[in-house]
């Protein structure tokens, strides 16, 4: 009859069995070492003693089980530890130190169980143990970084929602606007303005614009649209608003519209409309609301301005493209040159008679004479409406 002899447990299996049985001596040693060597754990106010113990228990159990049976690799506790430390703002160096101390505590217990320094198991188990510690540390670090990215993205999304809400109509609930401004750390008093700038998506970032504006003493928040940046700026003086708009125009090399300055946050919605009107009326560079009142009036109702342009200048607009362009150029120069045919001829490099001929033809086609104040005003409004299309 053959007798069955139980195999002698390895050192790793004995330590695993001890920890599995509920022996807390290794866990206690790790926690004591962590708290003694790292002020972030010793002085932590958000990480509770229970959270620290639970994390140590879970990771020590997982590491020692892997040491005993390689197929039992379970990195879940390491991932959870990394995510927890990232959420609580504990430095990654402290996270790594905790894993090293855990590995050291396991090694000390294994050495105590060994048959002296010459135990043949110690050599192989040492290499395995520190490889496992590295594997768990790497997993925790990856989870830490992933969580940081998620937290940053969540913060950015929350900030973006707050910024967007600043430009909403809060007339029925003013406190919501003030809460949003406080959440964004914006002053509630000062010289306010709204700025709208043309820019391609991805070229500028809200954080970058805010930092650059702060560098010149202007507080701001920015809402990035597909093809524009909308900013609320709070300055000490109107000249600081102008300086910010000029800097932004240089940065974007595009159109920048600026509202009139105002002193109450409750005027943000009206100011946004002003800035949008200004950017829609101007060319490359800065256009301030009020610089071109007629253009701003037309831009406020594109449909009505289009109808007016067609009713007044329709016959001119239906000319062949080249002739239409010549007629509109003469009419535009006429107003720019204060009605001087000589100045228009010099500006357009043509003869004065050519200028007079084209103006007469405009009059014949539209029934409006540039020398008649009312009719000339109508022609000017129609011309500006065409230019704003």
Task: Count CB-CB contacts under 10 A for residue 214.
Answer: 11
Summarised one tens digit per residue, pLDDT across range 42-78 is: 776 678 889 999 999 999 999 988 988 877 789 999 9
- Which pLDDT value is given to residue 239? 93
The residue ranges of every structural domain in the chain are 11-151, 191-299, 302-388
CA distances from 143 to 92, 301, 328, 341 (A): 11, 53, 65, 75
Residues 103-144: tens digit of each pLDDT:
999 888 888 887 777 676 777 788 889 999 999 999 999 999
Which residues make Cβ contacts (< 8 Å) with residue 233, sequence separation at least 6? Answer: 192, 193, 194, 195, 213, 218, 219, 220, 241, 244
Examine the pLDDT at 208 and tell me if it is beyond 50.
yes
Averaged pLDDT for residues 226-234: 92
The pLDDT of residue 201 is 63
- Give CA–CA dist 119/181, Å, rounded: 68
- Topology of domain 11-151, CATH: Globin-like (1.10.490)
Question: pTM for this structure?
Answer: 0.62
Q: What is the CATH number of domain 302-388?
A: 1.10.10.2840
CATH code for residues 191-299: 3.30.70
Under DSSP, the state recorded for 143 is: H
Q: What is the DSSP letter of 318?
A: T
The pLDDT of residue 3? 42
Spatial distance between the Cα atoms of 52 and 77, rounded to a whole number of angstroms: 12
């Amino acid at each position: 009859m053959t007798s069955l002899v139980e195999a002698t447990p390895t050192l790793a299996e004995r330590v695993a069995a001890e920890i599995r049985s509920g022996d807390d001596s290794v866990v206690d040693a790790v926690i004591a070492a962590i708290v003694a060597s790292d002020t972030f754990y010793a002085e932590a106010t958000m990480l509770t003693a229970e959270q620290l113990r639970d994390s140590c228990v879970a990771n020590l159990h997982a590491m020692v089980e892997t040491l005993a049976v390689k197929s039992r690799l379970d990195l879940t506790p390491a991932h959870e530890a990394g995510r927890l430390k990232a959420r609580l703002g504990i430095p990654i160096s402290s996270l790594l130190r905790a894993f090293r101390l855990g590995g050291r505590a396991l090694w000390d217990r294994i050495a105590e169980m060994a048959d002296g320094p010459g135990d043949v198991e110690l050599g192989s188990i040492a290499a395995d143990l520190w490889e496992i510690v590295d594997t768990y540390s790497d997993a925790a670090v990856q989870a830490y970084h992933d969580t940081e990215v998620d937290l940053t993205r969540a913060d950015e999304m929350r900030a973006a929602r707050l910024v967007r809400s600043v430009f909403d109509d809060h007339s029925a609930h003013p406190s919501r606007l003030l809460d949003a401004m406080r959440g964004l750390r914006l002053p509630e008093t000062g010289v306010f303005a709204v700025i709208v700038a043309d820019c391609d998506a991805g070229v500028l970032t809200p954080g970058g614009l805010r930092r650059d504006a702060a560098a010149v003493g202007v507080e701001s928040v920015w809402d990035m649209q597909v093809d524009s940046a909308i900013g609320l700026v709070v300055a000490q003086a109107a000249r600081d608003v102008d300086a910010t708009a000029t800097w932004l125009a240089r940065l974007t090399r595009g159109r920048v519209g600026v509202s009139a300055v105002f002193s109450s946050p409750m005027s943000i919605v009206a100011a946004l409309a002003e800035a949008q009107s200004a950017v829609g009326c101007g060319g490359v560079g800065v256009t301030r609301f009020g610089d071109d009142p007629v253009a701003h009036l037309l831009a406020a109702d594109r449909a009505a301005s289009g109808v007016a342009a067609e009713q007044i200048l329709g016959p001119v607009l239906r000319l062949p493209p080249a002739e239409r362009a010549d007629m509109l150029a003469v009419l535009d120069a006429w107003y720019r040159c204060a009605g001087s045919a000589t100045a228009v001829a010099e500006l357009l490099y043509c003869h004065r008679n050519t200028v007079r001929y084209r103006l007469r033809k405009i009059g014949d086609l539209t029934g409006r004479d540039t020398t008649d104040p009312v009719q000339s005003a109508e022609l000017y409004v129609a011309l500006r409406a065409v230019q704003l299309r």
